[in-house]
């Protein structure tokens, strides 16, 4: 069942136009009523217009109001989410374990709900054709870049994960026609990542972005856009906890989708690298 309509509305409401935000607030307050309305009826009820309802659906990167209604109906049919829970001073260890586990699961579920399978499929095809992938992120996002590089190298794919912008600029200047710059920034506003994407665009290098859901400078510059969920409920989420897991989850999905597309070849490559690392272990 299609879900994620309410999560998209919550994540995007502060970035919508005034009329779109008015519609979003009504839907969030009255979801069961909204899914039985036409766009014209909802526009009249919110003192906006049917066209504004359609624009809201497009702003949420959906195919139309019917698509939004189907996702909201799916949300209403599923169990109620627990939401993100922050830790408190002197929290017992067992409660920290339960809260962080719950937050991680929630983040993965929220991210799965906003994945655009068509955009993800597009990214997979681009990555399968790429000679080299230049993963780039700053701070916690660099950890994601390193994880991706390790995966790509295991299947004999050219991959870099520099955190130095000058080195990445060098890679872009010398890029092959099929090379990809894969930009990672949870906020979507990391200045260094924005500059690298602008440089890639200048040199005609293809780009993929991975950011939080919603419009951002990084996503707007990228040719192909991937997203993780975005929630602000828990203070320590800003320290790259659940958000980092969600980013790793997207990298895993991309990697395994590539493996599925070229199954026999990639299994053979993984077996070769596994044997090499096992030899190191056995010959200490």
The pLDDT-based confidence of 203 (bands split at 50, 70, 90) is: very high
- Tell me which residue range forms the domain holding 54: 5-77
pLDDT attached to residue 233: 45
Same domain? For 226 and 119 the reply is yes
Same domain? For 136 and 271 the reply is yes
Mean pLDDT over each residue of the chain, to the nearest integer: 88
- Give the Cα separation of 56 and 40 in Å (integer): 13
Number of domains in the chain: 2
- Give the Cα separation of 153 and 165 in Å (integer): 21
* Residue 250 domain-assigned (yes or no): yes
Name, in order, each residue with C-beta under 8 angstroms of 152's C-beta and a sequence gap of 6 or more. Answer: 133, 158, 159, 255
* Residue 109 domain-assigned (yes or no): no
Token digits of residue 144: 């994601």
Q: Check pLDDT > 50 for residue 143.
A: yes
Integer CA distances (angstroms), 120 to 83, 114, 256, 257, in order: 26, 11, 12, 9
CATH of the domain at 122: 3.40.50.10490
Calculate Rg over the CA atoms of the chain: 21
Domain limit, last residue, from 77, 103, 135:
77
Percent of the chain past pLDDT 90, that is, above it, reads 57
Q: What are phi and psi of 175, to 5 degrees?
A: -65, 145
Q: Check pLDDT > 70 for residue 6.
A: yes
Domain limit, last residue, from 17, 51, 77:
77
CATH of the domain at 9: 1.10.10.10
* Residue 248 domain-assigned (yes or no): yes
70 strand-pairing partners: none
Among candidate residues 41, 1, 8, the one with its CA nearest the CA of residue 228 = 8
Least confident range of 145-159, 167-181, 225-239 = 225-239
Q: Report helix angle 50-59 to 65-77, nearest 10.
A: 70
Same domain? For 161 and 263 the reply is yes
pLDDT attached to residue 205: 97
């Amino acid at each position: 069942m299609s879900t994620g309509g309410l999560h998209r509305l919550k994540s995007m409401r502060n970035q919508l136009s005034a009329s779109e935000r008015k519609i979003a607030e009504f839907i969030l307050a009255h979801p069961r009523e909204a899914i039985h309305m036409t766009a014209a009826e909802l526009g009249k009820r919110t003192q906006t217009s049917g066209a504004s309802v359609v624009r809201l659906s497009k702003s949420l990167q959906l195919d139309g109001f019917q698509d939004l209604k189907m996702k909201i109906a799916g949300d209403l049919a599923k169990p109620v989410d627990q939401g993100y829970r922050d830790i408190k001073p002197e929290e017992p260890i067992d409660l920290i374990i339960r809260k962080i586990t719950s937050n991680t699961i929630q983040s993965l579920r929220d991210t799965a709900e906003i994945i655009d399978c068509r955009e993800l499929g597009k990214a997979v095809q681009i990555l399968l054709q790429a000679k080299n992938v230049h993963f780039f992120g700053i701070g916690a996002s660099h950890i994601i870049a390193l994880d991706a590089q390790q995966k790509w190298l295991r299947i004999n794919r050219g991959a870099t994960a520099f955190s130095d912008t000058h080195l990445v600029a060098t890679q872009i200047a010398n890029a092959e026609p099929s090379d990809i710059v894969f930009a990672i920034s949870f906020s979507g506003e990391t200045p260094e990542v924005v500059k690298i994407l602008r440089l890639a665009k200048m040199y005609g290098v293809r780009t993929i972005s991975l950011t939080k859901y919603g419009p951002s400078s990084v996503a707007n510059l990228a040719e192909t856009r991937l997203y993780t969920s975005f929630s602000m409920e828990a203070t320590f989420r800003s320290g790259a906890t659940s958000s980092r897991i969600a980013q790793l989850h997207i990298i895993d999905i991309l990697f395994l989708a590539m493996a599925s597309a070229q199954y026999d070849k990639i299994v053979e490559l993984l077996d070769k690298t596994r044997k090499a690392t096992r030899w190191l272990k056995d010959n200490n």
